[in-house]
Amino acid sequence: MTAPSRIGIALFLAVACVPVRAGEKAPTSTDVYASWGFYNNMGWAAFRLGDLDLARDRFTHAIEYVRPYQKDYPRLMSRSCHDLTRVLCVEGRFADAEAMAKWVVEAREHDPRTRDDVMFDSVYLLAVVYRELDRDPADVVPLLRKALALEERHLGGGDVRLGSTLKELADAEADSGMLEDADVHYRRAALIYKQHDVRGFNLVDALEARAAVLARLDRTTHADLLRREAADLRGDAQAQPRLADSIKNPLASFAESQETAVAQP
């Protein structure tokens, strides 16, 4: 089956629950977890090895397997749909990912047992999808604000990983004309990077973006100072790799996410 065909099937499966046929014996919980886990674990192994075609195929198989039992195992369905959405985002197939990403957010919002890190991953990916599809930045901002609140509640206010989300939120706010809000979040991102001695392009980008916002606010003197600071850092920035992004690296670790999914009967 071609990749586009399998994507179409997966999008349908994400929103449809087909019950077990009459007279067909339902598998035990142990069987469901084992069979679903077989496919989903293979998907993650392939994803971490960079084999996106295989990862997409395995996550789709996990969805297809658990679909008839979705009512009894909703977390398994939302987990595999989220994992497939992540693969699509890494592949740049944001239009294919949109419907599924929205469904996952809605499903997890209705589950009171959803952890903050798991919810962050879902909301953040939907924000990325909207941004990459050139949706109105005003639609992206609320999602990134919610993602930031979830991430901060999970990690604490000073964790270096907040810097990336703060920068992306500020970008969306700047695009929406929310310049004062953008300035606050660029400034906070830069401060977090400095506190953790991150002197590479993560900091340079935050400083340059903030300078652009300050220039739009007619605070040119401060903007020029930030541009000079960024220029001084740029020469040495190559020596420090960028921090891992939240698209390829979920906040909820693989092991923890598996445990969360299996914890629900």
* Tens-digit pLDDT profile for residues 145-169: 999 999 999 999 999 999 999 999 9
66 belongs to a structural domain: yes
Q: Average of pLDDT values for 169-189?
A: 98
Residue 4 has pLDDT above 80, yes or no: no
In angstroms, the CA 257 to CA 114 distance is: 10
Q: What percent of the chain has pLDDT over 70?
A: 86
| CB atoms near residue 93 (< 10 Å) | 19
60 belongs to a structural domain: yes
| Residue 253: pLDDT band with limits 50, 70, 90 | low
**Number of domains into which the chain is organized:** 1
Contacts of 108 (CB under 8 A, 6+ apart): 78, 114, 118, 119, 122
102 belongs to a structural domain: no
- Please provide the distance, in angstroms rounded to a whole number, between the alpha carbons at the two ends of the chain: 32
pLDDT of residue 261: 52
40 belongs to a structural domain: yes
pLDDT of residue 257: 47
250 belongs to a structural domain: no
In angstroms, the CA 265 to CA 252 distance is: 20
Q: Average of pLDDT values for 132-143?
A: 95
251 belongs to a structural domain: no
Give the chain's mean pLDDT.
88
Nearest to 85 by CA among 100, 66, 74, 64: 100
C-alpha separations of 64 from 9, 231, 264 in Å:
9, 52, 19
Q: Residues 201-247: pLDDT tens digits?
A: 999 999 999 999 999 999 999 999 999 999 999 988 888 888 888 88
What is the span of the domain harbouring residue 67?
A: 1-14+33-94
47 belongs to a structural domain: yes
Q: Residues 115-129: pLDDT tens digits?
A: 999 999 999 999 999
28 belongs to a structural domain: no
